[in-house]
Chain A
């Protein structure tokens, strides 16, 4: 009997989280347009609704109603499969992210995490590695020179930086002694800000490696070479229009949110308060449940803002610089960080 309640509860959680994620994706796009607009000394969208707040809905409706063009030269099955793969992979990782304090859950049913598996971190990395296919197949099946060039560049970039991304997280796993994301967060909960991995765990080098690798993984500035419009038109999605283009677009922003969530969990203490126990547990259970979510969302919002800020500030890399940076600097640095962390831990014991 409990099993059926669990199944029902899981379906409910999945639906709610997916809807929230998609809304977050839509409003991250708006946030980006607003902030980049302000950086470039203009207003950004401001006409649709108050402060342009209804802009994402209108954009979504527009893209959905647009003509669905399938060029004659494409290889149709894979051409249609590629955006589905891209968006699907982008929406899965959120299932293992704990976004609130798990202790308030009644009867062992977790409220603030869809799936509490012991290999949560590997699930995120595995889904990321599958995500390459969306881009590779999009470029190949389009049968367009820009698309193919863009997708080759993009896939090579993704797999190169995936290494640095994975290795930068090894230090954190060492500190927590687990691959379970909830346990990793709980290991940083003791003294608020001071016990977060970036400060208390001396993982700031790892954090910067992660940050740079994550920007490259999500094809964002300054590593947005796959979409270098001055040389490749629109990269791997040159031949995609209407909803198929929107799908790639949503996948990019959903990946940004996932990557920000993982950064928050691994280095910034997830849902834990930066003040630690200074603001102790409250009498009111509802505040105790809501406050961790507030901290989590605040931290994720900070990373998303940083993404946009960087995009508005930095110019794009050249391709040889990008590959050099990934393989010759980031990868050895990640390995050195692991050696350093393990030496420090061994001496401390």
Chain B
């Protein structure tokens, strides 16, 4: 019925990506050429509610942000592994011959991850309001 091979379905996606970024670029460039430019030193200064900016904006920030990003990677890997499992889940009993095969393999997998979550919560790693956290 469909004369177009499946892998051609990625072409429209590519076109959409090109159009989306092209649109963004052209909007910004277009407005740059259309609008007037009448600049002064104060106008181009960093905005700090009328007070003159003191020091560099880029300082050091709480290590908790680093922890969030680090833990995000780990749980993201876990989430990515769950997607193919979810796709095949209803067919696993046929393939393996056991009704609970898919269930138990994911329970074991999630068990280890749950220990990780428990540890993080107990250590107060992501508890932003507590100063007594071990961080």
Contacts and interface: CB of A to CB of B under 8 A. Distances in A.
Interface of A: 2-3, 6-7, 10-11, 13-15, 18, 63-73, 80, 83-92, 94-96, 107-109, 114-118, 121-123, 129, 140, 142-148, 152, 156, 159-160, 162-163, 166-167, 170-171, 173-175, 177-179, 233, 238-239, 242-244, 246-247, 318-320, 323-324, 327-328, 331-332, 335, 338-339, 342-343, 345-346, 349
Nearest to A172: B86
B9, B36, B53, B76 pick with most chain A CB within 10 angstroms: B9
Given A71-B46, A320-B127, A65 B35 contact: yes
Contact of A6 (B4, B39, B88): B4
Task: Give the dominant DSSP class at A's interface.
Answer: helix
Contacts of B95: none
Given A90-B20, A140-B58, A327-B121, 19 more contacts: A10-B11, A14-B19, A65-B35, A66-B35, A67-B36, A68-B35, A73-B46, A115-B16, A118-B6, A159-B69, A173-B87, A233-B49, A239-B47, A243-B28, A243-B32, A243-B35, A246-B27, A320-B129, A346-B103
B112 interface: no
Interface in B26-76: 27-28, 30-32, 34-39, 41, 43-49, 53, 56-58, 61, 65, 68-69, 71-72, 75-76
B121 to A, nearest CB: 6
B16 A95 contact: yes
Contact of B20 (A10, A18, A167, A239): A18
Contact of B8 (A3, A239, A328): A3
Contacts of A121: 83
Contacts of A109: 4
A349 B21 CA distance: 46
Interface of B: 1-4, 6, 8-13, 15-17, 19-21, 23-25, 27-28, 30-32, 34-39, 41, 43-49, 53, 56-58, 61, 65, 68-69, 71-72, 75-76, 79, 82-83, 86-91, 93, 99-100, 102-103, 106-107, 110, 113-114, 117, 120-121, 126-129
A332 B4 CA distance: 43
Given A67-B35, A143-B57, A84 B117 contact: no
A86 B36 CA distance: 25
Given A320-B127, A346-B100, A349-B99, A68 B37 contact: yes
Contact of A243 (B11, B21, B27, B90): B27
B48 A145 contact: yes
A280 to B, nearest CB: 24
Nearest to A165: B79
30 contacts: A3-B8, A18-B20, A65-B35, A67-B36, A69-B39, A72-B45, A73-B45, A80-B28, A92-B16, A108-B2, A114-B13, A115-B12, A118-B6, A140-B58, A145-B57, A146-B48, A148-B57, A152-B65, A163-B76, A167-B82, A177-B90, A233-B47, A243-B27, A244-B28, A247-B28, A320-B129, A324-B127, A338-B106, A339-B110, A342-B102
A173 B128 contact: no
Contacts of B28: 80, 83-84, 243-244, 247
A79 to B, nearest CB: 10
Contact of B11 (A7, A68, A86, A145): A7
Nearest to A318: B129
Contacts of A339: 106-107, 110
Contacts of A246: 27
Given A145-B57, A167-B79, A324-B127, A342 B4 contact: no
B64 to A, nearest CB: 8
A327 B89 CA distance: 26
A96 B37 contact: no
Given A84-B25, A84-B28, A243-B31, A69 B44 contact: yes
Contacts of B6: 118
B102 A346 contact: yes
B38 to A, nearest CB: 7
